[in-house]
Structure 1
Amino acid sequence: METFYRPLIVFIAGFLFLKVTGKKAVSQMHAFDLLYIFVLTNIISAPIEVRHLGKALTYAVMVVILYKIFIRLSLHNKLRWILYESPTVLIQNGDIDRKGLKKARMPMNELLSHLRVQGYTDTREIAMAVMEETGSISVIPKSEYRPIEPNDLHLKVKKAYLPIPLIMDGQILEHNLKYLQVDQGWLLAEVEKQGEKVNEISLATYLENGKLSIDNNDIEEHPSDPYFYKPGKDN
């Protein structure tokens, strides 16, 4: 009986603790997913410190079964709202929801950081920003700020091309040269043509037109130019 109730108590108590902690602490994972990893890791590593391999493996099996049960229960709508956090609105119609930020325990600068990651710099352009149950941030722009898509203009577009890296951090990627069926001599000639050195190149990619695009380690500075503002204190 102890083999059953001990893992159950640990699992439920841990789940409640994570729920109290909030979505931010379990970003990208559901609370019981994260708990499952933590508990299972601790149980499996226990025999290294104490010689109870059989008991540890039994507990691990129980935790796996409990996790499977939680996953199955989460498929039912009535229980889903108990097991999962509700989405938290952070911005609505361009207005920042301070109650939502407080509930998500998210400072303003972190919200702005999440918006920048998704390509938005002005909160007024956002129709809705929501912290999902996994802790990730979903951003929906207002219709007038939504990027125009080819379907909006009834345009047909050509197939997307992925630039192929040939040099990364000063190292030549031989396997990509082989894939493209070009030799190292061609690559070195192209690098020299652009006045660069292989060991000073951050990234060199093979473009659709057969040319080489090079990004070296140099960064052009633009002091006091508001269009080149860098977030943080290193301005």
Structure 2
Amino acid sequence: METIYRTIIVFMAGYLFLRVTGKKAVSQMHTYDLLYIFVLTNIISTPVENDHLGKAIIYAGITVILYKIFIRLSLHNKLRWILNESPTVLIHNGDIDRKGLKKARMPINELLSHLRVKGYTDIQNIAIAIMEETGNISVIPKADYRPVQPNDLNISVKKEYLPIPLIMDGQIVYHNLKYLQLDREWLLNELEKVGEKIETIILATFLDDGTLFIDNNEVEEHDGDPYYYKPGRDN
């Protein structure tokens, strides 16, 4: 029983510290971001094995403060170049930068793999590829190979709209209904029109024309149709 409540306390303390730190610590990983995660993880897991719960939480709090100081210092223009690694050029004007690859410790096959993930198969089509300070790779194609934009064709397009979820996994998202100044009764009426029930709906979103898009648990079968092939043994 003691082990259970110790584990719960440690878990909640670690969660609160990470919430105070912010999302950056678990998204864009700089060197000190990764170090922070490793150190904090080791500190907060220690009380599960011994009786130093109070000390561990104090040490974890100190670690959070140090990390926040590092984040603050990294915002300073002069210190940023010391605390953060500078971007590394991997490809420039269609040519592989061997010095950049060596600095990034990246073999050619790994570079080609990263390019394929981003949809590029020929390095000659790339204006510049950079390993950013966070370890992510940015790829900018040459002008002749970049995707055509509506502005290139003098085409005016409507403003981008993000469909708003109103039902997710059979549960009504009430704060989105409130944002749209709608209510549960309106939603139920819309579902009744199409013969749907809340509990059978995986996702229902509010579209820009005021209608609902509904994805329920029903799957339309297309046995034998090659255009609807699904990999795996369950096809």
Alpha-carbon shift at residue 208 of structure 1 (Å) = 1.5
Amino acid of the structure 1 residue aligned with 2:73: R
TM-score (ref. length: structure 2): 0.56
Match of 2:69?
68
Say if 1:191 and 1:198, in contact at 8 Å, map to a contact too.
no
Say if 2:43 and 2:56, in contact at 8 Å, map to a contact too.
no
Match of 1:30?
30
Q: What does residue range 146-157 of structure 1 map to in structure 2 within 5 Å?
A: 146-149=146-149
Say if 1:165 and 1:173, in contact at 8 Å, map to a contact too.
yes
**Cα pair distance change 1:215/1:146, threshold 3 Å:** farther
Is 1:51 aligned with 2:52?
Answer: yes
Q: What does residue range 116-195 of structure 1 map to in structure 2 within 5 Å?
A: 120=119, 122-123=121-122, 125-149=125-149, 158-178=158-178, 179-181=180-182, 183-192=186-195
> Equivalent pairs: percent with the same residue?
50
Rounded to whole Å, the distance in 1 between the matches of 2:233 and 2:115 is: 15
Alpha-carbon shift at residue 134 of structure 1 (Å) = 0.7
Deviations 1:178-218 (A, max 9, x none): 544252332213433xxx66555432222111222234453
Alpha-carbon shift at residue 31 of structure 1 (Å) = 0.6
Match of 1:20?
none
The answer for unaligned runs of 5 or more in structure 1 is: 1-25
Deviations 1:76-127 (A, max 9, x none): 65x6555433433444445666873972367367515641xxxx35445432
Deviations 1:109-148 (A, max 9, x none): 7515641xxxx35445432232211112212122233344
Alpha-carbon shift at residue 35 of structure 1 (Å) = 0.8
Rounded to whole Å, the distance in 2 between the matches of 1:153 and 1:96 is: 32
Question: Cα RMSD (Å) of the superposition?
Answer: 4.7
Rounded to whole Å, the distance in 2 between the matches of 1:229 and 1:87 is: 42
**Cα pair distance change 1:36/1:171, threshold 3 Å:** closer
2:105 counterpart SS class: helix
**Cα pair distance change 1:171/1:149, threshold 3 Å:** same
Say if 1:46 and 1:56, in contact at 8 Å, map to a contact too.
no
Residue 103 of structure 1, aligned match among 94, 100, 105: 105
> Which range moved further: 134-143 or 183-192?
183-192
Amino acid of the structure 2 residue aligned with 1:135: G
TM-score (ref. length: structure 1): 0.56
Aligned residues: 200
**Cα pair distance change 1:214/1:152, threshold 3 Å:** same
Rounded to whole Å, the distance in 1 between the matches of 2:145 and 2:131 is: 21
Rounded to whole Å, the distance in 2 between the matches of 1:71 and 1:114 is: 34
Greater RCO, CA 8 A, separation 6+: 1
Rounded to whole Å, the distance in 2 between the matches of 1:133 and 1:31 is: 9
Amino acid of the structure 1 residue aligned with 2:166: L
Say if 2:74 and 2:84, in contact at 8 Å, map to a contact too.
no
Rounded to whole Å, the distance in 2 between the matches of 1:35 and 1:64 is: 14
